[in-house]
Structure 1
């Protein structure tokens, strides 16, 4: 008879696998990393890893979900304490401005995420999952703030929240990519400039 494994043990084992995989992806890159590499980084056997995950893609999706859900919960709590939609939007710009994409740890995470995003473009199912995740966690965050601001009369009513949200994340992704490629890239200046343009554009006439 197989031993009974507690839920706490399973959670602990999954966290160990995820931690090892994150370190592995950061060091070797998502594309180059193999399950054998994750075994080496996590110290957990290949058989045990396959008990929890079917592939390295599934491991990375779990990593993203854990990080995104925890970050999103904290973020929603913080912005709920701000009194206006303009303050909430400013807070998000400032939050990303101060993320220090030039640190090696941050660079590693950005590169791994970009690698996985490009990898997913060749897989219809992965691409669908990432798009749904983007709508649920990222686009909705901005569109909710914009719609709230329009309802309160803070922002002009003819601004399209979906376009503003799309532009916000396009700028953030692009700025982070350029900061990885060029240490002299004026990351914070770019974020400040786009922030001023967006807030000016949203103002009522």
Structure 2
């Protein structure tokens, strides 16, 4: 077997493990799923699982890498001349559509529940993630061009914006499908950003 074919089969195995694990997490809840179940459903072996992951918690890390890749790709489509306010609004809108359609409410609930488990990686609040860096770059840009006020630091504003994102997703998980994730996220983020603008005309 050539190295490239081995790598391809390894990637397929990894993808099967991730897909099976996320489906199980969504259906049963993170705490009620074992590595043995993931292996069985994905039709792989325990050895194969531990080649790719140290624990089931790392499955979420893998998914978050995919989500961050989406943010990176989306950001590249934004016109350079677009203002920071509009960039953040569009990023938030696209984020919520992506998470609603590609993750779904059950998996979001699982992610939030797992985030409360002590001594585990905190994906949602990790400021090294791509999402934080992108928002921070938009805020920096907005402050430098005079679009945003400077009474708060760019880091503080970034934390407020990402808190809005997490809070809206939490409300979606709490209230269910009748909660309009996209519309409510836009209301929330517009309200926060309006206090940051040097000229309020939106």
Q: Deviations over 1:5-46 (max 9, x none)?
A: 722222222112111111121111111100111022211122
The residue number in structure 1 matching 2:136 is: 143
Decide whether the 8 Å contact of 1:143 with 1:161 is kept in 2.
Answer: yes
Decide whether the 8 Å contact of 1:23 with 1:41 is kept in 2.
Answer: no
For residues 196 and 38 of structure 1, the distance between their equivalents in structure 2, rounded to whole angstroms, comes to 41
Q: Deviations over 1:110-146 (max 9, x none)?
A: 0121122112xx116x34xx37843332222211101
The residue number in structure 2 matching 1:200 is: 194
Match for 2:105 among 100, 104, 107?
107
What TM-score do you get using the length of structure 2 for normalisation?
Answer: 0.80
For residues 180 and 13 of structure 2, the distance between their equivalents in structure 1, rounded to whole angstroms, comes to 41
For residues 7 and 159 of structure 2, the distance between their equivalents in structure 1, rounded to whole angstroms, comes to 39
Match for 1:162 among 155, 158, 167?
155
Decide whether the 8 Å contact of 2:85 with 2:142 is kept in 1.
Answer: yes
Decide whether the 8 Å contact of 1:142 with 1:161 is kept in 2.
Answer: no
SS in 1 for 2:48: helix
**Which ranges in structure 2 are unaligned for 5 or more consecutive residues?**
none
Computed over aligned residues only, the root mean square deviation of the Cα atoms, in angstroms, reads 2.9
Decide whether the 8 Å contact of 1:86 with 1:149 is kept in 2.
Answer: yes
The residue number in structure 1 matching 2:114 is: 116
**Which ranges in structure 1 are unaligned for 5 or more consecutive residues?**
none
For residues 104 and 94 of structure 1, the distance between their equivalents in structure 2, rounded to whole angstroms, comes to 14
Query: 1:5-24 to 2 correspondence within 5 Å?
Result: 6-24=6-24
SS in 1 for 2:31: coil
For residues 43 and 102 of structure 2, the distance between their equivalents in structure 1, rounded to whole angstroms, comes to 24
Aligned residues: 196
What TM-score do you get using the length of structure 1 for normalisation?
Answer: 0.79
Residue 58 (structure 2) pairs with residue 64 (structure 1): no
Query: 1:175-186 to 2 correspondence within 5 Å?
Result: 175-183=168-176, 184-185=178-179
